Structure 1
Amino acid sequence: MRIGISIGDVRGPASPADLVAQVRTAAELGYDTVWSSQAFGWDALTSLAVAGTLVPGIPLGTAVVPVPQRHPLVLASQALSVQAATGNRLTLGVGAGVAMMVTSMYGLPADRPAARMREYLTVLGPLLRGESVAHEGELITASGQVAVPGAEPPEVLVAALGPAMLRVAGELAGGTVTWMTGPRTLAAHIVPAITRAAESAGRPAPRVVAGLPVCVTDDEAGVRERIAEQFGLAGRVPEYRAVLDREGVAGPQDVAVVGDEKGVARQLARLADAGVTDYLASPFGTAEEQERTVRAVAALI
């Protein structure tokens, strides 16, 4: 199981210098990938371009970019720009977005997310390959081409939790990215469903990138209480509530990877046993807690 690490907003407010420092530390410690999430601050792709151009070598990924507010022509241009700027190190993770946010913040429709994602990917794929598209579909219209010299098409992953989206991810993408999804659900639901879909489409075995907060600490109970406070909203959002219910837990605090060095190692081994190909470590806590966590998790790579 590869181990990557998140950078930027999910770990707290970050300046450009902070982003570069986080990526440089990850590269020096041997992390397999650095991942940037789209939240309410840094643009995920821009943050990778900023830091990735200054830190060579380490693979980069988005986990994830919501697509409702980015037309396929726009996203293809952004992704290929990052590819050209960073020497083609990008994995492009995309998602349908949290429905409540898509409708309330952007005034966009959030119904039929799997159907929208399927159509979106049928347009995005050719654009990433530099091909011209002329698509007038039920949900998307796109006409044009994107050409960025030196850019190769990135691998695309799809945030998928439910059966319909997992079929889309398995059939049309290189795998999935999950968030707040525990090992029981990964082993019994996520991995089997997306693997069946990929096999039926004649595609290679999919990547399964499992993102979870992590904190190496001697105060497990206290940290889990803080995670419950910070990520409590996820426990009430239908998309995440569904996988938490599958796991049989109350909230994000119960699936987070928390404990001392040996406890965290055991929890990561359980993810690997579940069929996870990539663990996305999202360090949680104070600067001191994150420092201990970053180095302890790196020791497991």
Structure 2
Amino acid sequence: MRIGTTLAYAADPRGGADDVAAWEQDGLDVVWVSEAYGFDAPTVMGYLAARTSRVHIGSAILPIYSRTPALLAQTAAGLDAMSGGRAILGLGASGPQVIEGWHGVAYDRPLARTREVIDICRRVWRRETLTNDGLYRLPLPPGEGTGLGKPLKILTHPVRDRIPIHVASLGDRNVRMTAEIADGWLPFLYDPQRAGDVWGDALAAGLAKRPADLGPLEVVAGGPLAIGPDVTGLRDLARPLIALYVGGMGAKGRNFYHDLLCRYGYPAEADRIQDLYLAGRKAEAAAAVPAELLERTSLIGPESYVRDRVQEFRDAGVTVLNVAPLGDDPRRLVAAVADMAR
């Protein structure tokens, strides 16, 4: 099992790169760069490529609606060239609030778009002459443009003709598609004890259709990390983020994170968090996050406890343990959990 971490939306990218360069020496294997409606991820990822030599660099995530499939492929190929073959293209649909509110693009047919984007990216990296007759029309036919478009292939030669594609997904249909066609899966709020109950059937159905040449599905999951006898209170630091997603990342009846909490067995708590958050009572929403959920989605406690938690994630099928080190000595934490994972 490898070790990863994520640079948060609001993080100072230059300071974050300093941290990643140090953590690479301590055993960090993968760094993920968030985007949402903050800094764009590829700029930060390029800087990370220049500051590191071994760690793999992934987007978590680039929304499929904010860039054309060809540009997503070009971006990943450029990063792969700059990093010497260390790029991971993390994709996701995001949600209507960001896609329609920030990008001004209709949020429609996310599964079909994701499937088509993945197929086009892989054809670009193989340097195929690009044509497509689906949601993305390549080239645009007469009547939808000037009629002057021509089939093209990427000018440059990608370092790899198969850059790993990871997909962020939560719903059954999306998880099933991810297990079928993606190289990796990026779930959220992953509880290793309950993940099988929530996603097991969807994963099994997708894996049953998975082409053999894709290899095993990578699973990237974890949570906040702190090791020591008196650190359990640090779990509360995750409350505002969980409340933001469960309460504010989507409208009532259209919030994937709210639905996930319900599937984990917290329907009343999910409703309360959402109601409080949408009413502007964010602190109360954070306080309503179940303590059990905080415990089950983190790695915080004495060393023996954290070691057992690492094993739980491994036993659940997690291949990249993604951690957010808390406290004054993150390098020690990364080194310790890297040792546990190996």
- Which range moved further: 169-178 or 254-263? 254-263
CA distance, structure 1, for counterparts of residue 100 and residue 230 of structure 2 = 39
Deviation at 1:206, TM superposition (A): 1.2
Where do 5+ consecutive residues of structure 1 fail to align?
A: none
Q: Distance in 1 between matches of 2:232 and 2:25?
A: 31
Partner residue, 2:333: 293
With over 3 angstroms needed to count, the CA separation of the structure-2 counterparts of 1:40 and 1:291, relative to structure 1, is farther
CA distance in 2, matches of 1:22, 1:131: 39
Alignment of 1:142-291 (within 5 A): 142-143=138-139, 144-152=152-160, 153-190=162-199, 192-203=201-212, 204-216=215-227, 218-236=229-247, 237=249, 238-249=255-266, 250=269, 251=289, 253-254=294-295, 255-283=297-325, 285=326, 288=328, 290-291=330-331
Aligned residues: 295
Q: Distance in 2 between matches of 1:90 and 1:29?
A: 20
Q: Deviations over 1:146-196 (max 9, x none)?
A: 233352131111112111112221222113111212113422343553343
Cα separation, 2, equivalents of 1:184 and 1:216: 21
Percent identity of equivalent pairs: 27
Contact 2:222–2:299 under 8 Å retained in 1: no
In 2 relative to 1, CA 155–196 (structure 1 residues): closer, same or farther, beyond 3 Å?
Answer: same
What is the aligned partner in structure 2 of residue 77 from structure 1? 74
Structure 2 unmatched runs, 5+? 140-151, 250-254, 270-288
The within-5 A match list for 1:34-45 is 34-45=31-42
CA shift in 2, pair 1:98/1:220, >3 Å: farther
TM-fit CA distance, 1:222? 3.0
- TM-score normalised by the chain length of structure 1: 0.87
| One-letter amino acid of the counterpart of residue 5, structure 2 | I
Q: Whole-Å Cα distance in 1 between the matches of residues 186 and 318 of structure 2?
A: 10
Q: Classify 1:5/1:56 alpha carbon distance in 2 versus 1 (closer, same or farther; 3 Å).
A: same
For 1:206, give the aligned amino acid. Answer: L
Q: Which residue of 1 aligns with 2:59?
A: 62
When normalised by structure 2's length, the TM-score is: 0.77
Between the aligned partners of 2:329 and 2:108, the Cα distance in structure 1 is 40
Contact 2:193/2:312 (CA < 8 Å) preserved in 1?
no
**CA apart distance, 1:78:** 0.7
Bigger share in strand: 1
Across the aligned residues of Structure 1 and Structure 2, the Cα RMSD in angstroms comes to 2.4
Match of 2:8 in 1: 9
User: Which one has the largest radius of gyration?
Assistant: 2
Q: CA deviation at 1:140?
A: 2.3
In the alignment, the residues of structure 2 paired with residue 275 and residue 15 of structure 1 have an alpha-carbon distance, to the nearest angstrom, of: 31
